[in-house]
């Protein structure tokens, strides 16, 4: 495992990222900064651009506009949302873990032990349950001894008990190694409870800040109207526009209701945390 970081500069700093693909605007002026040893969570509805943002941050896609700066020597461990493996492909967990890089059996066992599944080393990948597969994917991400863990829906296909275990495991690893964590998830309650910062995305950054701040933000509540925010402190934020569930922006008229005009911003999206 990596030693905790002594350098406090951002692991990753993305400024004003816009992305267009196939003539469609997917991301609009998104800014994200990931400090070491902190957990940042990107939340948003389906189609909000969460996975696209990760691909840009990882360097897999080039943004149409904006810039992504990564700390020199940054090592990233990536855990994808889904992994399609042909059911007839003879692939053991051991072989799967070493597809991208060689590692001795002892090291593979150590990482599997860390995520609680050393007994799976020689099992066929196709025989794994959803929870087992997520742990194996996490072990693979740790093989690179990352400074930054990037996790796309890490509890995908896992039952509610298993989800809590996965998130606790991620938090334990972060505390032990000092790595930063950037996570995309729709499991709002579980991930927001352990986050240092939450970025609410709907093509652009709707709001960002600590979990209790974002949970009380009107745009978060508009996007997730059934979310239970009991027990989380009230957060107020001056705003002169609202966003509907389709991402459309409407100015507030004198009565505080949304009109059908363009967007007049009362704040700069994605820059720092909201004022309290």
The predicted model scores a pTM of 0.75
Residue 257 pLDDT > 50: no
pLDDT at 102 over 80: yes
pLDDT of the residue at 146 = 94
pLDDT of residue 236: 30
What is the C-alpha separation between 111 and 141, in angstroms, rounded? 10
Mean predicted confidence (pLDDT) in 228-255: 38
**Average pLDDT for 245-257:** 41
pLDDT digits (tens, 9 = 90+) for 163-189: 778 888 888 899 999 999 999 987 677
pLDDT of residue 56: 96
| Mean pLDDT of the 87-113 span | 90
Q: Identify the bridge partners of residue 208 per DSSP, sorted by sequence position.
A: 199
pLDDT of residue 122: 95
Is the pLDDT assigned to residue 273 strictly greater than 80? Answer: no
Higher pLDDT, 67 or 269: 67
The 10s digit of each residue's pLDDT in 114-161 is 999 999 999 999 888 888 888 999 999 999 899 999 999 887 777 777
Better-predicted residue by pLDDT, 81 or 73:
73
pLDDT higher than threshold 90 for residue 101 = no
Question: Residue range 210-215: average pLDDT?
Answer: 89
pLDDT-wise least confident of 18-22, 61-65, 151-155: 151-155
**Percent of the chain scoring above 70 in pLDDT:** 78
**Choice between 235 and 136, residue whose per-residue pLDDT is larger:** 136
User: Could you tell me the domains of the chain?
Assistant: 12-75+145-251 (3.40.50.300)
Chain position carrying tokens 């933000």: 217
More confident residue, 51 or 227: 51
Instruction: Tell me the β-bridge partners of 200.
Output: 43, 207
pLDDT at 229 over 80: no
The DSSP secondary structure of the chain, one letter per residue, reads -PPPP---S-SEEEEEEEEEETTEEEEEEEEEEE-TT-EEEEE--TTSSHHHHHHHHTTSS--SEEEEEE-TT--EEEE-S-----TTS--BHHHHHTSSS---HHHHHHHHHHTT-GGGTTSBGGG--HHHHHHHHHHHHHTT--SEEEEESTTTT--HHHHHHHHHHHHHHHHHH--EEEEE-S-HHHHHHT-SEEEEEESEEEEEESHHHHHT-HHHHHH-TT---TTS-------SEEE-TTS-EEEB-TTS-B-SS----SS-TTSSPPP-
Per-residue model confidence (pLDDT) at position 95 = 94
Q: What is the largest CA-CA distance in the chain?
A: 67
């Amino acid at each position: 495992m990596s030693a905790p970081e002594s350098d406090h500069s951002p692991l990753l700093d993305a400024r004003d990222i816009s992305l267009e693909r196939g003539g469609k605007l997917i991301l609009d002026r998104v800014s994200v900064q990931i400090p070491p040893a902190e957990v940042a969570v990107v939340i948003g509805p389906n189609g909000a651009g969460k996975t696209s943002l990760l691909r840009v941050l990882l360097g897999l896609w080039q943004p149409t506009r904006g810039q992504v700066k990564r700390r020199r020597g940054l090592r990233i461990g990536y855990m994808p949302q889904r992994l399609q493996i042909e059911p007839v492909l003879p692939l053991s967990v051991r072989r799967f873990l070493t597809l991208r890089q060689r590692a001795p059996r002892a090291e593979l066992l150590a990482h599997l032990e860390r995520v609680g599944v050393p007994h799976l080393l020689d099992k066929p990948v196709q025989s794994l349950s959803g929870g087992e597969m997520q742990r194996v994917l996490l072990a693979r991400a740790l093989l690179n001894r990352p400074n930054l863990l990037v996790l796309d829906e890490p509890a995908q296909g896992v039952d509610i008990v298993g989800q809590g275990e996965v998130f606790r495991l991620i938090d334990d690893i972060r505390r032990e190694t000092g790595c930063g964590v950037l996570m995309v998830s729709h499991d709002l309650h579980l991930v927001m409870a352990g986050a240092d910062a939450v970025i609410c995305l709907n093509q652009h950054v709707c709001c960002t800040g600590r979990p209790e701040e974002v949970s009380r933000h009107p745009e978060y509540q508009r996007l997730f109207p059934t979310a239970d925010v009991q027990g989380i402190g009230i957060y107020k934020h001056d705003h002169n526009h609202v966003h509907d569930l389709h991402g459309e922006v409407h100015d507030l008229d004198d009565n505080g209701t949304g009109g059908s005009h363009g967007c007049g911003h009362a704040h700069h999206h994605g820059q720092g945390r909201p004022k309290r």
